[in-house]
Amino acid sequence: MSHLDQVLAKIDADLEVSLNRLFRWLEVPSISTDPAYKDHCRAAGQWLAEELKNIGIDASLRETGGHPAVVAHAKGEGKLRALFYGHYDVQPVDPLDLWDRAPFEPSIITLPDGRKAISARGAADDKGQVLTFVEACRAWKAVTGSLPINITFLVEGAEEDGSKFLPEFIEANKDELKADVALVCDTNMWNQDTPQITSSLRGMVYEEVIVRCADRDLHSGQFGGAARNPIHVLSKIIAAIHDESGRITIKGFYDGVPETPPEVLEQWRGLGLGEAEFLGPIGLKHSAGETDRMLIEQVQSRPTCDVNGIIGGYTGEGTKTVIAAEARCKISFRLVGDQDPEKISANFQAFVRERIPADCSVEFIKHKGSRALALPHDFPALVAARSALRDEWDKDPIVIGSGGSIPVGGDFKRILGLDTLFAGFGLDDDRIHSPNEKYDLKSFHKGTRSWARILAALAE
């Protein structure tokens, strides 16, 4: 029996013990966005550091400007060094009354279709995913006394709070964090039986816009018809962003957007992702994206613009007939290819300013932006992971982009020069950030086995 076979057998035999470890970690309410849970966040980081020490990996809590990060180093047999990233913090649980069971009392539940799942806040995002990797390392250490490759662990405690201090931490410790490839498991599978490697991630630009007109709220009976209404002004601007075909009208917006090769489009077409399958479960029927693009392009390989919130005027109970003094909105852009976040931001602000009437003003609040990321199809770690996942799941993994953004991938590329392999085992129905978060038991078990295989493949 090969070492890998022994490692896989060890993972199978220890599944119950591994679940018990995960349950203990899930019991810690490490909500990073709420200062009341500061000590719990530190406790969650300390728990992971101690578990890594227990399997012979040098680990410690490291201070950042916010919650501490867990940094650990494990020497392996080969020359390759990987930087593994995850996060131990979790989302708030509100609204609590929508949970079927206590969010920090993990349990195994049976889903309507018969699947077994781990129910708890953080089960899928990201404690369960992180522990698939840790348990794979534990099995390798137990069987061989070592790991197939050298691994540095970086597990932060503030991803759900925007990773505000992570870039600064990476910059300050870039020599220590040097590696050949980064590994991230905070992503999903294609479906419960088909693994997926996320080969690209969209970038992000996030802006807040505040339009001001009169110097105070006005009586609409006295001033209506004469005074500018900032809600009307902002609504017109928002409406002008997209044309009839769903394209974005901001100058230069599509600069740097690549066309997907025909052979790749043909592969995507063969996946059969239609409106009914994708939109039906959320109560919709018709795609609202670019009319000349497949749905799968709209959600993962094309740039987008969405209004995430709009505020203005009186929104309380009953009536109050006012013309508001100001209106504001929050707008996000998802970027692809070589789109430049700074240029997109500048062109968007110019687009808005051109449409502001002479007696009104506009203010912008700019948030962190990030470029899109993409792996070359012949990237060695990608090739190795494809082979490993095929062996575990008995089918070729889907290699496809993600519509979301994981800014740490951009930080690794910008600061450390690292490409990142995104291979996770979450599912679309895991309800992350929502009540009743869960992580399939199959995802946890076969995810651990998958990482064991990936480590062996990377060593080759």
Say yes or no: domain 3-201+372-459 is CATH 3.20.20.70.
no
CATH dotted code for 203-257+303-366:
3.30.70.360
pLDDT above 80 for 308: yes
Residues of the chain with CATH 3.40.630.10: 3-201+372-459
Q: Tens digits of per-residue pLDDT, 400-444?
A: 888 777 888 889 999 999 999 999 999 999 999 999 999 999 999
Give me the chain's average pLDDT, please.
95
Residue in the structure block whose two tokens are 């090769």:
261
What is the C-alpha separation between 99 and 107, in angstroms, rounded?
13
Q: On the CB side of 393, how many CA atoms lie within 13 Å of its CA?
A: 29
DSSP 67: S
Q: Tens digits of per-residue pLDDT, 170-183?
A: 999 999 999 999 99
pLDDT (0 to 100) of residue 261: 84
pLDDT (0 to 100) of residue 162: 87
pLDDT (0 to 100) of residue 200: 86
Q: Tens digits of per-residue pLDDT, 19-54?
A: 999 999 999 999 999 999 999 999 999 999 999 999
Q: How far is CA 309 from CA 88, 162, 391, in A?
A: 28, 18, 45
pLDDT (0 to 100) of residue 101: 97
Residues of the chain with CATH 3.30.70.360: 203-257+303-366
Residues 40, 182, 443, CA angle at the centre, nearest 5°?
65
What is the C-alpha separation between 402 and 59, in angstroms, rounded?
32
pLDDT (0 to 100) of residue 401: 84
Give SS3 for 120.
coil
pTM of the model: 0.82
Q: Tens digits of per-residue pLDDT, 318-330?
A: 999 999 999 999 9
